[in-house]
Amino acid sequence: MSWFTRKDKGILTPTESKREAPDGLWYQCPSCKKAMHTREHRLLAYTCSNCNYHEKIGSQEYFELLFDQTRYTELDAMLSSGDPLNFVDTKKYPDRIRATEKKTGLKDAVRTAHGKMNDADIVISAMDFSFIGGSMGSVVGEKIARGIDYALEHKIPFLMISKSGGARMMEAGFSLMQMAKTSAKLALLAEAGIPYISLLTDPTTGGVTASYAMLGDFNISEPGALIGFAGPRVIRETIGKDLPKGFQSAEFVLEHGFLDFIVDRKDLKDKLSSLLGMLA
């Protein structure tokens, strides 16, 4: 017998009265719970005015933050995924792709664009976590590879903004091949002396960390980002030990020598420009 039984049945609160404020007007920081105006939040590059929590944002927001007057040309915008393995989980893979396209308005988990940042040319590939967890499948690898080709051909610096749960399981081995493909392309970029900066954002894990995200001339991150290869639970169970505090945070990873620096998103554009100025 349960310790508590509800006497009155059917007590329901309509969804609209559960909300504390109308949608789209206020943003509540998930870290410190402070509410702020969405416009103010946007002006602060989607960081909290109180605790500086960096909200997860997608390619659209990064393009708006980094390209001058938000003017850019998207490359390979229409590339979308096939179904090499006839993969089915709770849905058929092509159905999942189509449903995600419809929900997010995106064609896959990365977008690449060419434009100007503080008057200098740059190619940016930015990942979208909202598209199947930012997972790296063939399209992600191919778009990044083509972005690097474009940067090579036009001798323009390349910026990769990673945000990923790792390889896309629906493409299995085809996903893992993307690690080799993008790494080989980046080697060509390095040979040609064209700068490559990798920005790791919250979260960057799995095969992405094990390939292009850690191959920058500079590997940088946003504050508080989760960066790792395997998740903490898997590691804990494998090594049979508790993990140190803050394990896999950008700050921890920096302290252990895997990052060059952490950059506040509000300073990102100018920091990137001065870094590229140094590398040129």
| Contacting range for Zn ion; rule: CB under 5 A; set: 19-27, 46-54, 65-73, 177-185 | 46-54
Q: How far is the CB of 222 from Zn ion (least distance, A)?
A: 14
Question: Is residue 51 involved in binding Zn ion (CB under 5 A)?
Answer: yes
Region binding Zn ion by CB under 5 A among candidate stretches 48-56, 127-135, 231-239, 240-248:
48-56
Write phi, then psi, for 71 (nearest 5 degrees).
Answer: -100, 125
Q: Which of 41, 45, 47, 48 binds Zn ion (CB under 5 A)?
A: 48
- Close Cβ partners of 171 (under 8 Å, ≥ 6 residues apart): 81, 84, 85, 87, 137, 138
Position 35 contacts Zn ion (CB under 5 A)? no
Among 25, 37, 38, 50, binds Zn ion (CB under 5 A): 50
What is the smallest separation between the CB atom of 161 and Zn ion, expressed in angstroms?
Answer: 22
For residue 164, give the 3-state DSSP assignment. Answer: strand
Stretch that binds Zn ion, among 31-39, 82-90, 147-155, 179-187 (CB under 5 A): 31-39
Contact code string over 10-29 relative to Zn ion, x by CB under 5 A? -------------------x
The torsion angles phi and psi of 56, rounded to 5 degrees, stand at -70, 130
> Residue written as tokens 């979208």?
128
Q: How far is the CB of 53 from Zn ion (least distance, A)?
A: 4
Shortest Cβ distance from residue 204 to Zn ion (Å)? 21
Only segment of 43-51, 90-98, 123-131, 220-228 that touches Zn ion (CB under 5 A): 43-51
In the complex with Zn ion, the residue whose CB is nearer, 53 or 229, is 53
**Minimum separation from the CB atom of position 55 to Zn ion (A):** 9
User: Which DSSP string do the residues of 243-262 spell out, in sequence order?
Assistant: PPTTTTBHHHHHHTTS-SEE
The three-state secondary structure class of 273 is helix
Buried b (16+ CB within 10 A) or exposed e, 155-176: ebbbbbbbbbbbbbbbbeebbb
CB 73 within 8 A of CB 131: no
Selected from 28, 31, 60, 273, the binder of Zn ion by CB under 5 A is 31
User: Which among 8-16, 50-58, 59-67, 253-261 is the span making contact with Zn ion, rule CB under 5 A?
Assistant: 50-58
- Does 49 sit near Zn ion (CB under 5 A)? no
Binding-site annotation, residues: 29, 32, 48, 51
Nearer to Zn ion, 55 or 171 (CB): 55
Determine, following the binding rule CB under 5 A, whether residue 75 of this chain makes contact with Zn ion. Answer: no
Number of residues lying near Zn ion (CB under 5 A): 7
- How does DSSP assign 60-116, residue by residue? HHHHHHHSGGG-EEEESTT-----TT--BSSSBHHHHHHHHHHHHS-SSSEEEEEEE
At 26 the three-state DSSP class reads: strand
Tell me which DSSP letter residue 46 carries.
T
Quick check: 32 binds Zn ion (CB under 5 A)? Answer: yes
Contacts of 53 (CB under 8 A, 6+ apart): 29, 30, 31, 32, 47, 224
Q: Which residues bind Zn ion (CB under 5 A)?
A: 29, 31-32, 48, 50-51, 53
